[in-house]
Amino acid sequence: MGYTFDEEAIYFIYLQRHAAGETPSEGEIQQALEENQQRAVRAWAVDIEIDDPHVAVQMRIEKSDFTDSFVEDRSPYVTWGVDDDGDTVTIRHEAGNSVPVDQVDIEPEAALIDQPEPGTTIESGDELTVDTSEFPATEDTVSIIYNYEGTESDSAALLHYTPDELEHDQ
């Protein structure tokens, strides 16, 4: 995704490359935008260009509409620290915004030691520990995903970390 702006509007450009024969139609893209992308709903203009296997979606949002909702829509800014001892990975919130626990998914959830209490926040100094020996065979990454309030499908990755010493074949 890229963006630019002028005195009146913000312009977003999403570029995608699909596998051969799997490029969605313009109608499928429009439907996905309506269902999953709040920016598209607020956009003054949306242009979709398809050049199989490439798709470009361009949106224009009035600057006043964007700035009115910007604070609500943005994910928290956080600096994460990671300690990996081979058996566990400890993720530390080192600085930045507090993160409401009810708005994050920590994956793989089954490997998380001491799940944070619902209704609390992850703040500077807090730690999350993941037991890498409990990873499902299909998992190899610890992720913290932020889910925007009031939407069912808009989210942003706050952290992806792949431990160095994963061995599923023991």
What token pair was written down for 146? 């932020």
Q: What is the pLDDT of residue 127?
A: 94
pTM (2 decimals)?
Answer: 0.53
Residue 60 has pLDDT above 50, yes or no: yes
What token pair was written down for 89? 């990975």
Q: What is the pLDDT of residue 97?
A: 87
DSSP H/E element including 14: strand 9-17
For residue 108, say if its preceding peptide bond is cis, omega within 30 degrees of 0.
yes
DSSP H/E element including 7: none
CA distance 73 to 65: 12
DSSP secondary structure, 101-158, as one string? GGGEEEESGGGEESPPPTT-EE-TT-EEEEEGGG--TT---EEEEEE-TT-SS-EEEE
Residue 89 has pLDDT above 60, yes or no: yes
CA distance 36 to 40: 9
**Confidence tier at 162 by pLDDT (50, 70, 90):** confident
Q: What residue ranges define each of the domains in the chain, with the CATH number in brackets?
A: 2-72 (3.30.1070), 74-161 (2.60.40)
Contact 46, 59 (CB under 8 A): yes
**Confidence tier at 166 by pLDDT (50, 70, 90):** very low
**pLDDT tens digits, 91-149:** 999 998 898 998 888 888 888 898 899 999 999 999 999 888 767 666 778 888 888 76
